[in-house]
Amino acid sequence: MKDDEHVQERAEQTRRSLLEAAASLFDERGYAGTSISDITARSGHTSGAIYFHYTSKERLALAVVQEHFATWPPLIGRHTGLQVPALEQLVRLSFAVARAFRDDIVVRAGARLWTERSLIAAPFPPPFIGWIDAVGAMLERAHGEGELAGHVDPLPAARSIVCAFFGLHTVSEALDGRRLVEDHLADLWTLLLPSLQPRPGHPGRTAELLTAARGA
């Protein structure tokens, strides 16, 4: 049994090594600019290992995208479980996601591959729907806690926040490689929070939320 576990562990290590090597290349060069030989050179594994574990470059790219999407449910769960108001949970979550897009190579590569999906013969997961649902649920809880202005409808507001958030990432990637994404996100929330809160223009609460989120 121990031998079997050791074999499985080594196989999983190989799969992860291949995934991360491919992700770093997809992030740097894009899907079309990355070859199987590039991945073997970066990972230190043979092309046979790639075909054994992933069968093709397309399936390896899909695995990176799936890993990208798999990052979010645990992250959302951790933040919705925080013992803080729902609006603060949302702001904290947004900064955690921003840091993942900036620092996590698999997340970065998954985002680029999704934009290049027309080049890849594999079925990709649908984007954004889960984010709209998650943000909408957090805004519903904020409404129940008295933290949301009466004129704000949670679901349309969630769609607008998700559009603004991912648009911000696209612009930040183009301008500074997401290096300043947290600063851009703080600017966005400084604009959005007063319109979401029941006391418009309450700068003390906005500053408090941003300080908590950036320090988390």
Same domain, 98 and 195: yes
Same domain, 105 and 184: yes
Segment 69-89, tens digit of pLDDT: 999 999 999 999 999 999 999
| Cβ–Cβ under 8 Å, residues 36 and 58 | no
| Cβ–Cβ under 8 Å, residues 170 and 162 | no
Same domain, 115 and 147: yes
Q: What is the mean pLDDT of residues 204-210?
A: 79
pLDDT of residue 212: 77
What percent of the chain shows pLDDT beyond 70?
Answer: 96
Same domain, 206 and 143: yes
Among 3-7, 90-94, 112-116, 158-162, name the one with the lowest average pLDDT: 3-7
Counting the structural domains of the chain, the total is 2
Same domain, 109 and 33: no
Same domain, 85 and 54: no
Name, in order, each residue with C-beta under 8 angstroms of 209's C-beta and a sequence gap of 6 or more: 87, 88, 91, 189, 193
Round to whole Å and give the CA distance between 71 and 196.
27
pLDDT of residue 198: 86
22: containing domain: 2-62
Judged against a pLDDT cut of 90, whether residue 200 lies above it is answered with no
pLDDT of residue 199: 73
Same domain, 19 and 48: yes
> Which pTM value belongs to this model?
0.89
Specify the long-range contacts of residues 88-91, CB closer than 8 Å, at least 24 apart.
88/209, 88/212, 88/213, 89/138, 90/135, 90/138, 90/139, 90/142, 91/189, 91/193, 91/209, 91/210, 91/212, 91/213
Among 98-107, 108-117, 131-140, 192-201, name the one with the lowest average pLDDT: 192-201
- The CATH number that applies at residue 206 is 1.10.357.10
Same domain, 75 and 38: no
Same domain, 196 and 170: yes
Round to whole Å and give the CA distance between 135 and 160.
10
Segment 154-178, tens digit of pLDDT: 999 999 999 999 999 999 999 999 9
User: Domain end: 38, 62, 86, which one?
Assistant: 62
Q: How far is CA 62 from the centre of its chain?
A: 16
| Cβ–Cβ under 8 Å, residues 179 and 101 | no
- The CATH number that applies at residue 30 is 1.10.10.60
